[in-house]
Amino acid sequence: MHEDSQTGSPSAPVLSRPGRGAATQARDLATTRGGHHTGTDGASTRSGARIALALGARHTCPHDARTTGRATRLGRAIAAAAIALLSLAAPVLADPDAPDTLEVVDAVVLQDLLEADDFCVFVHYNILYDPTAEPADAADELFLIRLMDGATELGVVSPYPYYNDGYDQGIAALYFDAATALTWEEPYAIEISGSPFAWATPPSTSLVLVESLYSGVDGQTENQDVLYDWAIDALEALETNWSVTLLESSEEGVILDETGQTYMTGAVPGLQALCPQLFWIKSESMDVTPRTWGTAQADLYAARFDGTFVGDGMDGLADLLHCTPQLLGGIVFVLLPFILTIILSERVFSTSTPALITLPLLLAMGALLGFLPLAAFALVVICFVLFIGYILFFRTA
């Protein structure tokens, strides 16, 4: 109960009744108070309006809340129904057509190709669509070539889409270095199957790597020879299948031609190091062993006439003159003929030029026959080179 501030009389209480909204209660309050202030300046009316707005902001009508909840649930139901209809209307992508022939034609397992105890598998496969039309996607997008140990995948590659988008016959390889090499002569399996990203039920075929498919030899050269023979057979089969030339003959044997090199280096990266015999230009390690130098050849020339009458005669004369047989031979067979040639040239041609021409010939003959030490011959040659350089470049300056 409230007392009027102006009349002092008590005012009627305002009660809230169930089911009535806040706005209604505010109007009642404004009306009740307004009845005691009739004729005033309207402040009470404005105050009642403000009270009504404030109450309306803080209270929600139960009837309005139930209406809003039903609208929300109805909207959610409509959205769920629309999503369900769209999912039913969406098309379900079907698997690509399976190939008419899917097979691992052949395989070979090798070791020691690049380093000791590495492991490499070469695969000759066939993905044939005939008479079925080939898919629009290339083979590397639809098929995988995997090395399997039971259900465990050890390695995987894709067909190289060089000829006919990768369909028909082809070659692939899986290489493992020594740190990751697999167990030798283990019965792994080569599997060709559809990619799980393209097929719900992928087609698949496999070939077990039995012992006969392993090279059976040790060493780099031996395994590269096995790979070369296998690759030539596989490439000849590809030539027939593709009606394309991939090989050519050279002085060193059958090698890849330009088309074959383009395909094989794309299908098997690093092939030139794995099997250099397939290429005309080969990469080989240079022999950088330091060469040792000696006088073995010079000693052989010096002993050319040992045990013959020429050698025996020169040895006896050298002992008589207290000199070496080579010095004696140089004087008799090189120096004296050169002096005689000079004298003859001066008398016949009035110049010593012909004698100078014959001197190199006499020196070479004396060195090869053992009559002149090779060290002396080398010194004379150096002097001749310097003299010729002087004549050509400095004498006219």
Q: 166-187: per-residue pLDDT in tens?
A: 999 999 999 999 999 999 999 9
pTM tops 0.85, yes or no = no
**Distance, CA of 139 to CA of 137 (rounded, Å):** 7
* Higher pLDDT among residues 373 and 336, named by residue: 336
* Predicted pLDDT at 284: 62
Domain ranges of the chain: 2-58, 101-278, 297-393
Nearest alpha-carbon partner for 124 in 168, 164, 182, 183: 168
Q: Could you tell me if residue 116 is left (phi over 0), alpha (psi between -120 and 50 degrees) or otherwise beta?
A: beta
Q: At a CB cut-off of 8 Å and minimum separation 6, what does 69 contact?
A: none
Q: 213-247: per-residue pLDDT in tens?
A: 999 999 999 999 999 999 999 999 999 999 999 99
Type of residue at 147: L
What are the E-state strand segments in the chain?
A: 2-3, 10-11, 101-111, 119-128, 143-149, 152-157, 168-176, 189-194, 204-208, 247-250, 253-256
Q: 242-272: per-residue pLDDT in tens?
A: 999 999 998 889 999 999 999 999 999 999 9
> What angle (nearest 5°) sits at the alpha carbon of residue 386, between those of residues 380 and 388?
100
Could you count the other beta carbons within 10 Å of the beta carbon of residue 329? 23
